[in-house]
A = this chain, B = another copy of it.
Amino acid sequence: MKENKYYTIYHQLAEKIENGEMEAGSLLPSEHILAEQFGASRETIRKALNLLSQNGYIQKIRGKGSVVLDVKKFDFPVSGLVSFREIAESSGKAWRTNVHELVLIRPDDALARQLKISGKEEVWQVVRSREIDHENIILDKDYIRKKFVPSITRDICEISLYQYFEKTLGLVISFAKKEITVEKATEEDYKYLDMGEYNHVVVVRNHVYLDDASLLQYTESRHRLDKFRFVDFARREHR
């Protein structure tokens, strides 16, 4: 289990910044000096610094140096690919997942289009509500291609599908396309969620792709308005 050199360097520098050993606003040592200190080539150092920059730890300025940013001022990108469990656990609140449905279906036309597959391919349908502080505020509807995930149990749905996919099945999730809109609540929303006075939900549609660019899963995550929050950290692309 050997880690990349540049990744190790990234971690060490990130830790120093988080600890406050590197003061916000100050400059990192130059790339030449870091290369000496870590016994690495400058290009390797640069890979580590690019990671730091992408994750909001530093800002590189040509001709000047790498400025340490104030990490505490940003709550970090709830990157597009984080499981409910990770968020819930880090929040420190009481949480629970209720599994309402776990069946194998053949998709109707609309779903087949979302999954970009034929209507004949079998698909797992998982419907779960998420309870936080004893209120059901999120309804997750997952559609997973049986081709990639032969079996699923209720227990797995209660803990974490992602963990099961990645740790147990060894699937490598590589990217996801997310779309956020607000829509009128459906009967299903009223049935499974504690809607209170609200009659709309925030809908997050998510297409999850594997390593080899094939589509693994389509997810519809429906949130009660007042509990929804999404954070994004966008870096300007080249040019």
Interface set of A (CB-CB < 8 Å, partner B): 4, 7, 43, 51, 54-56, 59, 61, 67, 69, 73-74, 79-81, 116, 173-182, 200, 202, 209, 211-213, 225-226, 228-239
Contact = CB atoms under 8 A, between A and B. Distances in A.
A209 B70 CA distance: 13
A235 B234 CA distance: 12
Given A173-B236, A175-B233, A178-B232, 7 more contacts: A61-B213, A69-B213, A176-B234, A177-B232, A177-B233, A179-B230, A182-B202
7 contacts: A59-B209, A59-B212, A69-B213, A175-B234, A177-B232, A178-B234, A180-B230
Given A67-B212, A73-B116, A174 B81 contact: no
Contact of A174 (B51, B209, B213, B235): B235
A80 B232 contact: yes
A13 to B, nearest CB: 15
Contacts of A200: 200, 225
Contacts of A73: 116
Contacts of A67: 212-213
Contacts of A80: 232-234
A173 B237 CA distance: 10
B177 A239 contact: no
A191 to B, nearest CB: 21
Contacts of A54: 237
